[in-house]
Amino acid sequence: MERRYPFLEGFGYIVSIWSVILLAIAAWLSAEGRPVLRGVVVAGSALSVMGMLLRWYVWWSRHGNGKHHQ
């Protein structure tokens, strides 16, 4: 099945990364004085962003630089 708008998938990853960052800021501020919880916020946010970057890299290797594999 051909994807008509592959750039939307890549754009979706960027939107997701910004969403994680904004939610992490809110969680960080509400975890003031709780170092373990702040550590969990940092670890969870980093893992989420890393996963999205890895998925974006796979997307880019398939669709980037004018390559269009089916």
Residue 66 lies in a domain: no
Amino acid in position 32: E
Residues 30-47 have pLDDT tens digits of: 999 999 999 999 999 999
What is the total count of domains within the chain? Answer: 1
Residue 68 lies in a domain: no
Residue 1 lies in a domain: no
Question: Is the predicted pLDDT of residue 68 greater than 80, yes or no?
Answer: no
Residue 45 lies in a domain: yes
Residue 38 lies in a domain: yes
> Does the global pTM surpass 0.95?
no
Cβ count within 10 A of residue 55: 15
d(CA 17, CA 19): 5
Structure tokens at 50: 């890393």
**pLDDT-based confidence at residue 1 (cuts at 50, 70, 90):** very low
Query: Range of 37's domain?
Result: 6-61
Instruction: Find out whether 59 and 13 touch, Cβ atoms under 8 Å.
Output: yes
Residue 69 lies in a domain: no
